[in-house]
């Protein structure tokens, strides 16, 4: 492969294409003269958009084809929303860098209501995230929450067609697609703690591809990478699969710049029990911090809650 060409394998949803174009632009800005091409592909996950994620084998379906292209050498990098990246990589592949995080919060989107509190009794809310569902139900047990799948445009269309009174989406996706004006309210992390990795974009490469890894280095954001590492270590210790009522959110400790502050929760989808844990720890030991917070959740009984959700068909 020519020395100044990089090929990006990408899904063809607007959000995936935005992320791929973003990495292309950043690479071209950092390395004048470089040539970056996109290789678009439709994944199994994209073909099965109407089936519940848990039934079709989880988020791994969205990345497998991209990873195959990396292993075949048809592409050099795959760009991912960190929220969707499985914990384990195929042999020979791994994350090279994580870029600066966009707003990590969840967004309340509605054409008629200004916030969760503003929703009338029994209102219909769309989300397919058990994490969002359990936090919503704990505040508003009266709401009718039902499944909402598809890419960001499809979800907004279902809202506009009147299927729901409101939907919850990641703010980052809406901001990136210039749909920020659809956000009725950003949800405080205290009421909707974000998913591990939400809002962050990461880049996967072949681990032995020193050329590409060096070219990507200027795009790395240390602070985001430490935050996401703590969140993902927590998720991994909980054996969190693709569809789980787990939230994990780390930020630099406002009182001590050398520390990270990780907050997390595991909840029953019905919202009746929500276990929470938080801890601060040295930012250069992000992984240990994540494991410690996970241990605290497990000590409170998180294992039984997750087991009940997984049933016997744990997806990943
Ligand atoms: N699960 C799909 C997905 N993966 C990443 C984002 C949004 C952007 C991000 O978190 O980086 C979304 C949409 C959503 O949850 O609303």
Give yes or no: 142 in active site: no
List domains and CATH numbers for the chain. Answer: 5-99+200-220 (3.40.190.10), 106-186 (3.40.190.10), 228-310 (3.30.160.40)
| Closest approach atom of ligand 1 to CA 168 | 16
DSSP 232-275: HHHHHHTT--SS-SEEEEEEE-TT-TTEEEEEEEEE-TTSS-EE
Q: Give the angle subtended at the CA of 186 by the CAs of 180 and 190, to the nearest 5°.
A: 155
ipTM value of the model?
Answer: 0.94
* Whether pLDDT at 219 is above 80: yes
CA distances (Å), 105 to each of 228, 240, 247, in order? 14, 20, 11
- What is the 154 CA–ligand 1 centroid distance (Å)? 13
- What is the 81 CA–ligand 1 centroid distance (Å)? 7
Which residue has its alpha carbon closest to ligand 1 atom 9? 199
pTM: 0.92
Write the CB contacts of 202 (distance below 8 Å, at least 6 apart in sequence): 79, 80, 82, 85, 95, 97, 98, 99, 228
| Adjacency order of strands within the sheet including 185-186 | 144-146, 124-126, 166-170, 106-109, 185-186
Please, which pLDDT band fits residue 87 given cuts at 50, 70 and 90?
A: confident
- What is the 144 CA–ligand 1 centroid distance (Å)? 22
The binding-site residues of ligand 1, defined as CB within 6 angstroms of any ligand atom, are: 81, 83-84, 152, 169-170, 172-173, 198-199
Chain-wide mean pLDDT for the chain? 92
Which residue has its alpha carbon closest to ligand 1 atom 15? 170
Ligand 1 pocket test target in 173, 193, 203, 241 with most atoms within 8 Å of CB? 173
* Whether pLDDT at 300 is above 80: yes
């Amino acid at each position: 492969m020519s020395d100044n060409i990089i090929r990006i394998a990408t899904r063809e949803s607007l959000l995936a294409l935005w992320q791929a174009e973003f990495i292309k632009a950043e690479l071209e800005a950092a390395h004048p003269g470089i040539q970056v091409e996109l290789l678009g592909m439709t994944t199994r996950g994209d073909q099965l958009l109407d089936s519940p994620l848990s039934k079709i084998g989880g988020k791994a379906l969205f990345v497998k084809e991209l990873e195959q292209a990396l292993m075949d050498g048809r592409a050099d990098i795959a760009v991912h929303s960190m929220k969707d990246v499985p914990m384990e990589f195929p042999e020979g592949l791994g994350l090279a860098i994580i870029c600066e995080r966009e707003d990590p919060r969840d967004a309340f989107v509605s054409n008629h209501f200004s916030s969760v509190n503003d929703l009338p009794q029994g209102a219909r809310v769309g989300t397919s995230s058990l994490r969002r569902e359990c936090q919503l139900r704990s505040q508003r047990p009266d709401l009718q929450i039902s499944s909402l799948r598809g890419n960001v445009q499809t979800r907004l269309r279902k809202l506009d067609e009147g299927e729901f009174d409101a939907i919850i989406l990641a703010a980052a996706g809406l901001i990136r697609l210039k749909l920020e004006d659809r956000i009725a309210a950003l949800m405080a992390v205290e009421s909707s703690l974000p998913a591990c990795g939400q809002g962050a974009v990461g880049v996967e490469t072949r681990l032995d591809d020193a050329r590409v890894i060096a070219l990507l280095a200027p795009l790395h954001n240390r602070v985001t990478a430490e935050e996401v590492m703590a969140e993902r270590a927590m998720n991994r210790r909980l054996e969190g699969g693709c569809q789980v009522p787990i939230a994990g959110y780390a930020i630099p400790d406002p009182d001590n710049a050398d520390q990270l502050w990780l907050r997390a929760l595991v909840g029953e989808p019905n919202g009746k029990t929500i276990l929470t844990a938080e801890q601060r720890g040295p930012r250069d030991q992000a992984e240990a911090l994540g494991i410690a917070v996970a241990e605290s959740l497990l000590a409170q009984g998180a294992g039984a809650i997750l087991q009940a959700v997984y049933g016997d068909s744990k997806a990943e």
